[in-house]
Amino acid sequence: MTNQNIVKKLFKIIPEFEMYARNTDEDIDLPYMVFGALATYIKELADKKDEILLKSCFDLLDSLINSGDSSAYDLVMTGTFELLSDSEDGISIAQKYLVGKSLDAFNIVVEAFKE
């Protein structure tokens, strides 16, 4: 799947995020920027305690990590997981919602940035 198609999938599954992304200063034509904005969006959802949208976001990230698509994996790892791992709150949120392979992948990012 191309990066642009992955972004389209994200916007289709989480239309609330598409509206959010279009109202940011991020260049939503750049997939890595979109997935970076998703990390910020997730942190804001956690502050609002929006469990339903948080679960939708992490379900999507989990499916992308487990899809076997290297482009999707790279977008999530470098676009979203790196930015979530830059704060204790981001780490805590991700470790609460991620499971299995996606949690393992996230923890690799966390460990890489500890050093």
Query: How far apart, in whole angstroms, are the C-alpha atoms of residue 43 and residue 9?
Result: 21
Phi-psi region for residue 30, left (φ > 0), alpha (ψ -120 to 50) or beta? beta
Q: Domains of the chain: which residue ranges?
A: 3-110
Task: Provide the pLDDT for residue 115.
Answer: 65
Task: Provide the pLDDT for residue 28.
Answer: 81
pLDDT at 39 over 90: yes
Task: Provide the pLDDT for residue 27.
Answer: 81
pLDDT tens figures, 55-109: 999 999 999 999 999 999 999 999 999 999 999 999 999 999 999 999 999 999 9
Q: Which of 71, 81, 72, 13 shows the shortest CA–CA distance to 43?
A: 81
Beta strands in 5-57 (DSSP E): none
For the entire predicted model, the pTM comes to 0.93
Indicate the average pLDDT of the chain: 94
Which two three-digit tokens encode residue 111?
């460990």
Contact 89, 44 (CB under 8 A): no
Q: What confidence category does residue 30 fall into, taking pLDDT thresholds of 50, 70 and 90?
A: very high
Q: What contacts 15, CB < 8 A, 6 or more positions away?
A: none
